Structure 1
């Protein structure tokens, strides 16, 4: 198995959530570690993937909201400082499309999740290093992880939707 490193300056772990049932708020996690090992990076089926995300690194471009997200109302980062994803198995869906099944742990609650993942290609960067690209998408229900804070709006809707879209864009390099 060959190991790969994430190129952090060209990768993003992002999420979005509907706000007031009108628009979407987007955010990222700025600090994370990844362990990726696979015999053939373009095939993925035998890959072992582990991501550990620092909850306190959440960024939505609004400091007050970011502080609220790491508070006990949401992630409670002082008690639960990490989000962890561990792949369990990977199935090939199409030529360059895969379903990465795994366990997602938030606030010590572990639930199965599936990332629909597209291999976006490879190349050699200006420093003669191999580069491989992937985009992975999933939807989670935040209530499954005890992220239940919300407010009822006067119009009858809610401030924050329960469904969270997760998008991971990765550039990786062989070690």
Structure 2
């Protein structure tokens, strides 16, 4: 089957993350403004062209002070680096509807190769006759690899913010013309 252009449906998609706080709990957040370019046969992603752009200033952890700190030069420095980008470079089928997607992730001025797990959730027709496809994406990255190194040592030992960031995306896309 030929590649088809798919348009991201932001009302039915999400870009979420979690990170350890004080080494004992997880803080969760999301980015609320993002877009993707997807050209693919959803039943065989191995030849897909996929790129994702995230507005770094759209970070939302449900705490305004924390969000402002995350937007500052200590973390994302959104004034200088307004976008986070991911561009797939290699896609491997691991099993029925399961893939490993490797690509270039750019946060601030650093680009590193990262691999994410993608599960194709299927396709369906909405009440207006539009074909939709669903995908679940998971993985983790080291925030320190991207210069997001601000931290504070705890009196009890350890650090305030963990290094490992767990990533989860739920993507729904509409089949193009």
With structure 2 as the length reference, what TM-score do the two structures score? 0.96
Equivalent in the alignment of 2:34: 32
Residues 10 and 35, structure 2, Cα contact 8 Å, conserved in 1? no
Q: Measure the CA separation in 1 of the matches of 2:58 and 2:67.
A: 9
Structure 1 gap ranges (5+): none
1:22 paired with 2:24, answer yes
Equivalent in the alignment of 2:71: 70
Residue-by-residue CA offset, 1:45-81 (whole Å, 9 max, x unaligned): 0001111111000000111111000000100010111
Equivalent in the alignment of 1:171: 172
Residue-by-residue CA offset, 1:120-157 (whole Å, 9 max, x unaligned): 12211122211111101111000000000001111102
Q: Measure the CA separation in 1 of the matches of 2:128 and 2:68.
A: 39
1:57 paired with 2:58, answer yes
Instruction: Give the paired residue count.
Output: 174
- Quote the RMSD (CA, aligned, Å): 0.8
Runs of 4+ in structure 1 deviating by more than 6 angstroms, as ranges, are none
Equivalent in the alignment of 1:11: 13
Q: Measure the CA separation in 1 of the matches of 2:162 and 2:4.
A: 40
Residues 30 and 59, structure 2, Cα contact 8 Å, conserved in 1? yes
Q: Measure the CA separation in 1 of the matches of 2:64 and 2:175.
A: 36
Equivalent in the alignment of 2:156: 155
* 1:96-115 aligned within 5 A: 96-115=97-116
Helix, strand or coil at the partner of 1:69? helix
Q: Measure the CA separation in 1 of the matches of 2:78 and 2:105.
A: 16
Structure 2 gap ranges (5+): none
